[in-house]
Chain A
Amino acid sequence: MALAPDPDAALMLRVKQGNTDAFAMLVDKYKQPVLNLAYRMLRDAAEAEDLAQVVFVQVFKSARRYEVSSKFSTWLFTIARNLCLNEIRRRSRHPVDSMDTSHPGQEDQPLQQFEDKRTASAPERLLYGELEEKIEQALAALPENQRLAILLCRQDELSYEEIAKVLGCSLSATKSLIHRGRETLKQKLKPYLQTGAWHESN
């Protein structure tokens, strides 16, 4: 069966020829998912932004070697994954005070606040804000590979096979990572999940 042509790959071939407009289009398309992934892996907004920038610069610099052998998004998220893991390893070797580190007297402060653009009443916003914080914390506590697998799983562009490629493991190992991560999340978030506050018609 012939694969559908990947429009991103076509853009990337233009980038390979030095076309910066095509590169800007790719950055525009993927900046949000890459930044989301980087933030949830590093838990630091400024570092996540820097890392996302490095991911795209790496894409531009590697364009010369780009071959249309797999989907562009798979290649992009593989670069993002490698850089995230490198950064996490670098941090573990050279621990420094993170901007998100709790300070004395501020233990109850949420790690990061985001504006919720969805329409909701004030009490609802408060509730959702708290719930979101709980799941952010539960996600952050997962082992890196499980967290990465769960986050990639939410990317519409990637199939399970492609997630496995990004993670560099087999399909069954990928599904196992997701399953184990989700089981941990379900355990940690059990009281909140039971309230039905998050429930949507699925």
Chain B
Amino acid sequence: MTNDPIYNHLRELSWRRKLTDAEQAQLRAWLAAHAEAQTDWEAEAGLNAALSRLPDVPVPSNFTARVVQAAEREAAAELRQSGWKWTVWPRLRWLPRVVLTTVTVSAVLVSCLVVQDAQRKRLGVSVAVVSTVSALPGPDILKDFDAIRASNPTVVGDDTLLTVLQ
């Protein structure tokens, strides 16, 4: 075997396809100058020919139709299996947002109603207190307050009596 780049290039080409006329001429010229590579080339060419003679595996005439049918069947089955994921879910993708919004709005409304109710109750209690106040005597009763207070000096305790009592 040789490591000559020209030979290696032509040999690698021959592994994949038949050499063109120009490539064959180049190879013949190279082999003429390198007789020691002749045996290696013959083995390479023989193997290329042997590989190219490998027969095609018989393909059933209905192979394409069967494959198309199987592909359609599998695609349909996959669609059914992932029906929720691929068909229903995209249509209901808005649902969680709507649910979240509804819950939030409901919570706010309920809070408002509770606060409003509490305020109403407090107002009711206040009104009840005020309604009892209306039964007290009017301010006229205090018109002679100063005169009465002046004519009635403050009672001072009898110290002697208190001493005796003690």
Interface residues on B, range: 35 or more
For the complex, is A199 an interface residue (Cβ under 8 Å from B)?
A: yes
Residues A28 and B50 in contact, CB atoms below 8 Å apart = no
Residues B50 and A53 in contact, CB atoms below 8 Å apart = no
Residues B71 and A57 in contact, CB atoms below 8 Å apart = yes
For the complex, is B16 an interface residue (Cβ under 8 Å from A)?
A: yes
Residues B52 and A49 in contact, CB atoms below 8 Å apart = no
Residues A31 and B78 in contact, CB atoms below 8 Å apart = no
For the complex, is B15 an interface residue (Cβ under 8 Å from A)?
A: yes
Count contacts on A: residues with CB < 8 A to the other chain.
50
Label chain B's interface by main secondary structure.
Answer: helix
Residues A61 and B46 in contact, CB atoms below 8 Å apart = no
Most buried by A among B18, B42, B51: B51
For the complex, is A90 an interface residue (Cβ under 8 Å from B)?
A: no
For the complex, is A80 an interface residue (Cβ under 8 Å from B)?
A: no
For the complex, is B70 an interface residue (Cβ under 8 Å from A)?
A: yes
Enumerate chain B residues within 8 angstroms of A27, measured Cβ to Cβ: 63-64, 67-68
Enumerate chain B residues within 8 angstroms of A48, measured Cβ to Cβ: 57
Kindly state the separation between the CA atoms of A193 and B56 in the bound complex, as whole angstroms: 21
Enumerate chain A residues within 8 angstroms of B74, measured Cβ to Cβ: 57, 60-61
Residues A135 and B54 in contact, CB atoms below 8 Å apart = yes
For the complex, is B75 an interface residue (Cβ under 8 Å from A)?
A: yes
Residues A35 and B50 in contact, CB atoms below 8 Å apart = no
Residues B45 and A202 in contact, CB atoms below 8 Å apart = yes
Q: Take A178-B15, A202-B18 as given contacts and tell me if A114 and B70 are in contact as well, using a CB distance cutoff of 8 Å.
A: no
Residues B24 and A20 in contact, CB atoms below 8 Å apart = no
Pick from B46, B57, B63, B67: contact of A36, CB under 8 Å: B57
Residues A115 and B58 in contact, CB atoms below 8 Å apart = yes
1/0 per residue, CB under 8 A from B, across A154-198: the answer is 101000100000000000000100100010011001101110101
Residues A156 and B17 in contact, CB atoms below 8 Å apart = yes
List A73-129 residues whose CB lies under 8 Å from chain B.
Answer: 114-116, 128
Residues B64 and A189 in contact, CB atoms below 8 Å apart = no
1/0 per residue, CB under 8 A from A, across B12-53: the answer is 101111110000100000000000000000111111111111
Q: Take A28-B64, A60-B75 as given contacts and tell me if A202 and B48 are in contact as well, using a CB distance cutoff of 8 Å.
A: yes
16 residue pairs A–B, Cβ–Cβ below 8 Å: A20-B68, A27-B63, A31-B59, A32-B57, A35-B59, A53-B66, A61-B71, A115-B55, A132-B53, A135-B51, A139-B54, A186-B44, A193-B46, A193-B47, A198-B49, A202-B48
* Pairs A-B, 8 closest by C-beta atoms: A193-B46, A60-B71, A198-B49, A200-B49, A198-B50, A114-B55, A39-B57, A202-B45
